[in-house]
A and B are shown apart, each in its own frame.
Chain A
Amino acid sequence: MTGFVGALVEAWGELRIHRLRVLLSLIGVAVAVAAMTGVTALGDITRQAQAELSEAQSGRPATFRVDAWSETATLDATATTAAFREFVDRYQIEQASLVTYSTMPVRMPMATWDVTVQAVDPPYGTMHRIAPIHGSWFTEADADRFSPALVVNEAFLRELGVADLSGHPTVLIGAGEPVLATVTGVVADLWPGAYPEAYILSSAYERWIPPNPEYFTVPALEVWVPPEDAEVAEEYLNRDLTAALGAGAQVQIYRQDAFGIEEFDRVFQLVVTGIGVLVLMLGALSLVNISLVTVRQRIREIGIRRSFGASSGRIFFSIMMESLVATVLAGVVGVGIAVVAVRNAPIESLIGWGAIQDVPPFPVSAAVTGLVAATAIGALAGLLPALVAVRVKPIDAIRY
């Protein structure tokens, strides 16, 4: 215990004495660690943000979308809906949702808007990572309401003229005989200046909204399955639904999550990490060089410490510690620089498209990588001088 603390105190004292030289060589280590950590973090963050953005829009891996249509006749929406529901029940797919796009008049206080409304099932929220900023997403219980519930975007809420959901805002929707719908959730706009949009539950849509003859739509089906089941799912979807919808119906299935498009920044990250490793190596070399020089100058000093009762193990440990304490400090500084730099980096322009609501936090793994690299370099740089110091015989050190 005292041995360990003693060695630490000693190492710290040595670093203070040689601070200028140590500082110079550590700048390299700190810069390299900052570069490596920063790039790793940026890569992680952008990839994460990209993944979230594309998942929000296209679904998580593996999401399939099934569209049905007929070339000869108009497809029966009710029959199609039934076929989709039956498929989901048969295979007990938990994450599945009908998706029906429609446009319907909405009586806002100032004017009536034609609003794009998506009729979906409750799992759609999980499948597209929908996180309402007010209220909540649909649950199964919403199907039993006496009026349709709506999850709207911020633009919709603004147009309604309310700030939040505390007053349980309602709005008339639908052509012909409009129904009074209640807004129960609000999601963020996908981009600034978005038009009002809304989600409604499929069941409510079927029950309350009279079919619009000018705007006839057939639902699509989205299913989210584990990526390893993707092939089987695709095959079953095709086989079962083609059979269920009968001759004349076309079934098109495509995978819509963004898989395989994240590779371009990997190369960039590899190159910069490579450069970081190189800089780190150079920093380490100069560190080795400096510690070797100082150890040679310190042979007498080592001898004096021997006379205090320093064993060769203790000498080894002290010199090693010096190097470790120094590079770990440099590593902490480097990681700190990286954190600050990444905080202030223009993440959105790096991703190149879209707006992300909250930038993911600094990845811990990147910070850990940086510190581990710094520690490893310290150990490596300390090894050689420590071995040299241990090989000095006490007597030669004193006589030196």
Chain B
Amino acid sequence: MSLLELRGITRTVRLPDDSRLDILRGVDLSVGAGEHISIVGRSGTGKSTLLNILGLLDAPTDGEYLLDGTPIGRLGNRRRARRRGDDFGFVFQQFNLLPGRTALENVIAPLLYARGRTFWRRHSIAASMLERMGLGDRLESKPEQLSGGEQQRVAIARALVRTPRVILADEPTGALDVDTGAEIMSMLDEIASDTGAVLIAITHDLAVAARATRHFRLGEGVLTPITIAPRTSGTLAELGDPLTATDVVDPEAVPALAEVEAGPA
């Protein structure tokens, strides 16, 4: 049984001028334990929306979402919130650290929603997590005093401190330079593998996307599997990327994409 399963998920929003915007038009996805998934797609195609639905921050307009075989739609708000805290860890592009609070306080914050031993031992757990991220000497630093890479490492420590089963990363390297981004991604990959967590990462960076075990592209509101050859650099745009240039969905119809998919399957 897969850990996460989406069946025909749609998400429609009503815009201020009263027109409808279909962001997702029927997404199917099945993720098993320990998989690393990457999702690419041009800006505004609904990648964040999809990730938020996966992380129970948003609810689909239609379709079914099974978490551990349990239909999430039937859970009440409270239980949904609890599962969100227990099972998911979020890493955001803009880090989203709590301003004014130290690195340690930021990593402690999710543990305030834990129960039992984890709650009472939150200080030592958070400190050792930061140490693992190489920030043992920056525990008392506030986000304002940290570099982008360091902030993202704090954010990763915070996302992982409750050992979630699913890590959801929304463009985790988007605000970092290439080298730092690569470093951050290997950390994320490594820790996810260590704990056996599912990693679902959204990215614009093909090198980042290539690290995953399975790759998808989101366009026109649907998710399509693609193949990306392992590489050390490259963005969609650099490829003369039709993904960013148009709304083309069908990979066969796009010659440039064929090159992308020419790597080992």
Contacts and interface: CB of A to CB of B under 8 A. Distances in A.
B241 interface: no
Contacts of B25: none
Interface string B111-154: 01111100110000000000000000000000000000000000
B214 interface: no
A309 B78 contact: no
B231 interface: no
B55 A307 contact: yes
B110 A306 contact: no
A303 B48 CA distance: 14
Interface stretch (A9-17, A94-102, A374-382): A9-17
Interface centre among A3, A300, A304, A308 (most CB of B within 10 A): A308
Contacts of A303: 57
Nearest to B80: A311
Given A13-B101, A314-B81, A398-B57, A308 B113 contact: yes
A348 interface: no
Contact of B119 (A6, A300, A308, A398): A6
Contacts of B114: 2
A311 B81 contact: yes
A9 to B, nearest CB: 6
Nearest to B83: A309
A398 B56 CA distance: 12
B113 A312 contact: no
A305 B119 CA distance: 16
Interface string A1-45: 011011101100100010000000000000000000000000000
A7 B55 CA distance: 23
Contacts of B58: 394-395
B78 A307 contact: no
A16 to B, nearest CB: 9
Nearest to B115: A2
A313 interface: yes
A310 interface: yes
Interface stretch (B30-38, B84-92, B257-265): B84-92
B109 A309 contact: no
A301 interface: yes
Contacts of B92: 398
A300 B85 contact: no
Given A301-B98, A306-B57, A311 B110 contact: no
Contacts of A2: 114-116, 119-120
Nearest to A393: B58
B112 A6 contact: yes
Interface centre among A309, A313, A314 (most CB of B within 10 A): A309
A398 B77 contact: no
A399 B47 CA distance: 13
Given A6-B112, A17-B101, A300-B96, A311 B77 contact: yes
A318 to B, nearest CB: 9
3 closest residue pairs by CB, A with B? A309-B85, A311-B81, A6-B112
21 contacts: A2-B114, A3-B115, A5-B119, A300-B96, A301-B98, A303-B57, A306-B57, A307-B55, A307-B57, A307-B88, A308-B84, A308-B85, A308-B109, A308-B112, A309-B81, A309-B84, A309-B110, A311-B78, A311-B81, A312-B81, A398-B57
